[in-house]
């Protein structure tokens, strides 16, 4: 059985520790758990810019090659 619970941001750490202490509960934190509202807004803005202007995007292979070349 799965349950979804909304927790106040200032209580999440306490709640997660409580869940971890119970051996019969498996917790699966979400990707956004550790992100502040400011970071979420920044990521959302960047995603919108990339969606509206795909020319801003770089292929992963090109990005990796660029990083490799800069480390040489």
Q: What is the pLDDT of residues 2-38, one digit of tens each?
A: 777 888 888 888 888 888 788 787 766 655 567 788 8
Q: What are phi and psi of 30, to 5 degrees?
A: -80, 160
> What would the pLDDT profile of 33-61 be if each residue is shown by its tens digit?
677 888 888 988 988 998 899 888 888 89
pTM above 0.75, yes or no: no
Give the whole-angstrom CA distance, residue 48 versus residue 40: 12
Q: Which residues 6+ apart lie within 8 Å of 33 measured at CB?
A: 12
DSSP 8-class letter at 21: T
């Amino acid at each position: 059985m799965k349950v979804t619970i909304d927790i106040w941001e200032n209580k999440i750490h306490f709640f997660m520790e409580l869940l971890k202490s119970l051996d019969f509960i498996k917790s699966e934190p979400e990707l956004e758990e550790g992100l502040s509202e400011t970071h979420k807004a920044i990521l959302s803005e960047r995603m919108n810019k990339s969606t509206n202007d795909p020319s801003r995007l770089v292929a992963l292979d090109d990005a990796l090659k660029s990083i490799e070349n800069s480390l040489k």
